[in-house]
Amino acid sequence: MPTTPSKLQREAARSIVTKYLRVRPGENAVVESWDHTLPIAAAVVDEIRRVGGQTLHIHEDEDAWWRAIDRRQSKLLGKASASEWAALNAANVYVHFWGPGDTDRIEKVPEKTFDEALGWFSPWYDSARKSGLRGARVTVGFATEGRARQWGLDRDRWEEQILRACLADPKETARSGARLYRTLSRGKKVRITHPNGTDLELALAGGTPRLQDGMPHPRDRRYGPNDLLGQIPGGRIDVALDARTAEGEIHANRRTNIWWYWSGGGTLEFARGRLSSFSFDHGEEEFARQYRHATTGKDRTGVLMIGLNPTAQDVPNLETVERGSVTITLGRNGHLHGTNRSNFLNWVSLAGADVAIDGAPVVRAGTIL
């Protein structure tokens, strides 16, 4: 892969730095990358400097990381060095690109080993919250050769789609979600319909919606403890569902992508608040396996999501942020102060639907009203 950023990578980097993170002159930034994200990371470094910020670029060499795994040093990888902690504590801004890039190999690593290698995760967030860090995790790191092959995608086109979605203005995304926020805050009943046979009635749990505009929200108490990092590309509003209420069915026309697993053509049917049946054109076996081993609440709804990003049109791994798309999750919703405590989490997404809150339309044929 070439290390010189493309024009689109530079444009996305400029959007991330100036629109999402709003880096100011004199601020200190840390950028972390892997081999497969080196070009876009270099572009972000360049853009931070362009606006007068100072930057430290931490690059994780893929081959060296896997050699440590082979030497059974996963616990060592899970402990960040003192120098990295010092850099984090001195930083105002942080940009992270997902890795490692060899996703074929990730699947072969025992779950315990991978968890040990990510042992830095919780302490990292604890430290970052104390320092008031604002940052971003950039989804383009998910666009790997291995995932593209498994998901039947053209990797270069997939990356281009993600980068273009990074160009959406988060302020416009937030404005488009403002009316939805107000309606979902006070609403009770939800109805989702679509010409494909979808007709599903749900109830809101009465909690505060969370507007995911892609920007970090480190000091805003309406957000969760990990929202000091924005997910870019962003653009979605989430609200907890009442786990006791669900009647009807939903037929997905977008895929569900979870790390290396994906499903498509999903149909969920509900009766008296519970999932009564499910089927998928692709991925049913894995869904059934996860469902079979999940805890109480797996058959109850969790979260309603409505996408707000105008640029992410049917992009793998961005289905939930596509403007006007509707996503229904099953399982846990405690992060939105819901009551579903299941360890299960899966979802289906539908584009082009009608959504009504207490009988008033808020989305018509995928257009936010």
> Which tokens in the block code for residue 257?
């992508």
Decide if 128 contacts 88 (C-beta within 8 A). Answer: yes
Residue 224 has pLDDT above 80, yes or no: no
Averaged over 25-38, what is the pLDDT?
Answer: 96
Decide if 362 contacts 187 (C-beta within 8 A). Answer: no
Decide if 328 contacts 202 (C-beta within 8 A). Answer: yes
> Which tokens in the block code for residue 26?
């004199």
Residue 226 has pLDDT above 80, yes or no: no
pLDDT at 103: 85
166 DSSP 8-state letter: T
pLDDT at 144: 93
To the nearest whole number, what is the mean pLDDT of the chain?
Answer: 93
Q: Which CATH class is domain 7-165?
A: alpha beta
Indicate the range of 59-63, 88-92, 101-105 predicted with least confidence: 101-105
What pTM, to 2 d.p., does this model score? 0.92
Q: What are the pLDDT digits (tens) for 162-198?
A: 999 999 999 999 888 988 999 999 999 999 999 999 9
The percentage of the chain sitting over the pLDDT mark of 90, rounded to a whole number, equals: 79
Q: Which of 140-154, 219-233, 234-248, 258-272: highest mean pLDDT?
A: 234-248
Q: For residue 258, what pLDDT band results from cuts at 50, 70 and 90?
A: confident
Residue partners of 252: CB distance under 8 A and separation at least 6: 264, 265, 266, 267, 348, 349, 350
Averaged over 21-36, what is the pLDDT?
Answer: 96
Residue 158 has pLDDT above 90, yes or no: yes
Q: For residues 131 and 92, what is the distance between their CA atoms, to the nearest angstrom?
A: 8
pLDDT at 274: 97
Q: What are the pLDDT digits (tens) for 211-223?
A: 998 888 877 777 7
Three-state SS letters, 47-104: HHHHCCCEEEEEEECHHHHHHHHHCCCHHHHCCCCHHHHHHHHHCCEEEEECCCCCHH
The percentage of the chain sitting over the pLDDT mark of 70, rounded to a whole number, equals: 99
Q: For residue 3, what pLDDT band results from cuts at 50, 70 and 90?
A: confident
CA angle 337, 175, 186 (to 5 degrees): 40
Q: Which amino acid is at 55?
A: T
pLDDT at 222: 74
Q: For residue 106, what pLDDT band results from cuts at 50, 70 and 90?
A: confident
Q: For residues 258 and 103, what is the distance between their CA atoms, to the nearest angstrom?
A: 12
Averaged over 201-219, what is the pLDDT?
Answer: 90
pLDDT at 1: 54
Q: For residues 21 and 19, what is the distance between their CA atoms, to the nearest angstrom?
A: 6
Indicate the range of 110-119, 305-314, 341-350 predicted with least confidence: 110-119
pLDDT at 128: 86
Q: What are the pLDDT digits (tens) for 277-314?
A: 999 999 999 999 999 999 999 999 999 999 999 999 99
* Gap between the terminal Cα atoms of the chain: 43
Q: For residues 85 and 173, what is the distance between their CA atoms, to the nearest angstrom?
A: 33
Residue 2 has pLDDT above 60, yes or no: no
Decide if 329 contacts 185 (C-beta within 8 A). Answer: no
Query: Which of these, 215, 211, 209, lies nearest to 228 by C-alpha position?
Result: 215
Q: Where in the chain is the domain with CATH 3.40.1830.10?
A: 7-165
